[in-house]
């Protein structure tokens, strides 16, 4: 496991559950780092219980149904109290999924430009298959109404693709030929967050 990916996976977990305590995150992390989460088919995971975290059962089953997570610990004697919360078995599964997603392959191409006005157009036939994210930094604001930006576009997809895109930079229109090359999703997250 890579430290950088774990950090990012935790960051995503914190963003999704901003009101959860540090100890909740820590317990989820312990479960994840001890390799207790195993995928068990579509939308189901088995989490090995850890007595040191108060688990009374050797395993717990977490399911994802209609966008909601359910854990078998909800059915235990503490179920009534726990049902309203998201237990750390679920949090460990979310961490596991975040990590797997960040570690997965994507195909991407990066376009760097410096302009005042800019626009990147992807042909409509690629809509849905190709995503574009941009990161923008002001490099010259001496003309306050028209600051100059350094713009990085990342064009990416789940599949290797070649496409032509239209790039507009201060009235200059260029056709770009983009070949999306294999990289990992966390690289894109690092570049854009
Ligand atoms: Zn649970």
Quick one: what percent of the chain has pLDDT higher than 70?
A: 95
Distance 89 CA to ligand 1 centre (A): 4
* Residue 189 pLDDT: 86
pTM above 0.85, yes or no: no
* Residue 84 pLDDT: 59
Distance 7 CA to ligand 1 centre (A): 23
* Residue 143 pLDDT: 87
What six digits make up the tokens of 42?
Answer: 């579509």
Distance 187 CA to ligand 1 centre (A): 32
pLDDT, tens digit (0-9, with 9 covering 90-100), for 10-39: 999 999 999 999 999 999 999 999 999 999
- pLDDT bucket at 109, cuts 50 / 70 / 90: very high
For residue 69, the 8-state DSSP code is E
Distance 54 CA to ligand 1 centre (A): 11
pLDDT, tens digit (0-9, with 9 covering 90-100), for 36-95: 999 999 999 999 999 999 999 999 999 999 999 999 988 766 655 555 578 999 999 999
Distance 55 CA to ligand 1 centre (A): 9
Distance 40 CA to ligand 1 centre (A): 16
DSSP letters of 114-183? EESSEEEE--GGGBTTEEEEEEEEEEE-SSTTS-EEEEEEEEEESS--EEEEEEEETTEEEEEEEE-EEE
Residue among 125, 112, 115 nearest 154 (CA): 112
Mean pLDDT, range 164-170, rounded to an integer? 96
CA distances from 52 to 1, 57, 78 (A): 23, 12, 17
Distance 60 CA to ligand 1 centre (A): 7
Distance 63 CA to ligand 1 centre (A): 10
| Whole-number Å distance between alpha carbons of 117 and 119 | 7
Distance 88 CA to ligand 1 centre (A): 6
Please say if the pLDDT value at position 145 is more than 90: no
Distance 42 CA to ligand 1 centre (A): 18
Distance 35 CA to ligand 1 centre (A): 16
| Residues with C-beta atoms within 5 A of ion ligand 1 | 71, 73, 87, 89
CA-CA-CA-CA torsion sign (24, 78, 89, 13): negative
Distance 192 CA to ligand 1 centre (A): 33
């Amino acid at each position: 496991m890579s430290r950088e990916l774990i950090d990012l996976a935790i960051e995503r977990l914190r963003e999704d559950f901003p009101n959860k305590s540090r100890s909740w995150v820590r317990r989820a992390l312990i479960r994840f780092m001890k390799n207790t989460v195993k995928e068990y088919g579509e939308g189901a995971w088995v989490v090995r219980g850890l007595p040191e975290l108060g688990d009374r059962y050797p395993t717990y089953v977490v399911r994802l149904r209609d966008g909601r997570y359910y854990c078998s610990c909800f059915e235990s004697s503490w179920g009534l109290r726990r049902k309203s919360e998201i237990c750390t078995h679920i949090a460990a599964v979310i961490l596991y999924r975040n990590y797997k997603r960040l570690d997965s392959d994507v195909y991407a191409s990066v376009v760097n430009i410096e302009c005042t006005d800019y626009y990147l157009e992807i042909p409509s036939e690629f809509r849905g298959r190709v995503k574009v994210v941009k990161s923008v930094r002001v490099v010259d604001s001496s003309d306050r109404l028209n600051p100059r930006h350094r713009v990085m576009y990342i064009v990416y997809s789940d599949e290797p693709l070649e496409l032509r895109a239209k790039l507009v930079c201060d009235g200059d229109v260029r056709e770009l030929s983009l070949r999306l090359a294999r990289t990992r999703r966390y690289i894109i997250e690092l570049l854009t967050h």
